[in-house]
Amino acid sequence: MSSHQVLAGFHAVTARLRHAPATLKELYVEASRRDKRMQAFIQQAQAAGVRVHPVAAERLDGLAHGLRHQGVVGLAEAQALAVDVDEVLDLLEDRSDPALLLVLDGVTDPHNLGACLRTADAAGVHAVLAPRDRAVGLNATVQRVACGAAQTVPYIMVTNLARTLRRLKERGIWLVGTDDQAAQGLYDVDARRPMAWVMGAEGEGMRRLTSELCDQRVTIPMLGSVESLNVSVASAVCLYEAVRQRR
């Protein structure tokens, strides 16, 4: 089981059933649950050709490794998504949509990453990028918080973020970083062009070189007493400004 990816909860497992049911190797449900939601879920799994194992709640607790599983745990193979920035951009060249990327510089909390992935999926982001040495991987907590988005949005961890940002610029991607000291505001961005929002970690913000590589730096309006937003909330604010402009 150690080579499998653990998916806990209805959202994460249902998303995998919809998008890549063949990668679900084992599916366990709480034997004592017979409510309508569980019955509908079991029917969906069986229709997808996935065998369902009813087990005791204690067995599910062990499989989920402390995650809230709602009576559902799946063991799956990692889904194959784009693993390279150029692969993502090459695919976009055949489509009319301008690229929309999210770069996370230093986000190490799995709850924040999961929330960022969920927002990225909702906003139609084509890929989320992060430096390999300053980011959390797609662990079970990320999978749960992302509610299935980890199966639909490529999460690309790169060895050298600065080199990757330069590559994006070469490919015509406009880099916009958030910086509470910036002279321009969020609404000064032309988000209809191919672009990437670049977000730093809470407290520290973007690293110096990351900030210098941005084509534009903007601040998010803060009208109350708090100084900054959680990175997942800040990502949502920025991504949905792009959604608004592109509509």
Residue 43 is inside which H or E element, if any?
Answer: helix 36-47
- Identity of the residue numbered 90: D
User: For residues 229 and 242, what is the distance between their CA atoms, to the nearest angstrom?
Assistant: 18
* Mean pLDDT, all residues of the chain: 88
Q: What is the pLDDT of residues 180-197, one digit of tens each?
A: 889 999 999 999 999 999
**Is residue 195 within 8 Å of residue 101, measured between CB atoms?**
yes
166 pLDDT exceeds 60? yes
Percent of the chain with pLDDT over 90: 54
Q: What is the pLDDT of residue 83?
A: 64
What is the mean pLDDT of the segment spanning 25-52?
Answer: 94
- Identity of the residue numbered 240: Y
pTM: 0.71
Give the residue with greater pLDDT, 134 vs 236. 236
DSSP 218: E
When the candidates are 3.30.70.120, 3.40.640.10, 3.40.50.1370, 3.40.1280.10, the CATH number that belongs to 85-246 is 3.40.1280.10
- How many of the other CB atoms lie within 10 Å of CB of 91? 14
Whole-angstrom distance between the N-terminal and C-terminal Cα of the chain?
44
Q: How confident is the model at residue 2 (pLDDT cuts 50, 70, 90)?
A: very low
Residue numbers belonging to the annotated binding site: 200, 220, 229
Q: Within 13 A of 70's CA, how many CA atoms are on the CB side?
A: 15
CATH code 3.40.1280.10 region(s) in the chain = 85-246
What is the mean pLDDT of the segment spanning 154-175?
Answer: 93
Phi, psi of 201 (to 5 degrees): -70, 155
- Region label for 14, one of left (φ > 0), alpha (ψ between -120 and 50) or beta (otherwise): alpha
Q: What is the pLDDT of residue 80?
A: 60
Q: What is the dihedral of CA 35, 37, 39, 45, to 10 degrees?
A: -150
CATH code 3.30.1330.30 region(s) in the chain = 5-76
Residue numbers belonging to the annotated binding site for S-adenosyl-L-methionine: 200, 220, 229
User: For residues 225 and 66, what is the distance between their CA atoms, to the nearest angstrom?
Assistant: 36
Q: What is the pLDDT of residues 62-118, one digit of tens each?
A: 998 887 899 999 998 866 665 678 778 877 775 667 999 999 998 888 888 989 999
Q: Domain 5-76 is classified in which CATH homologous superfamily? A: Ribosomal protein L30/S12 (3.30.1330.30)
Q: What is the pLDDT of residues 226-243, one digit of tens each?
A: 777 889 999 999 999 999
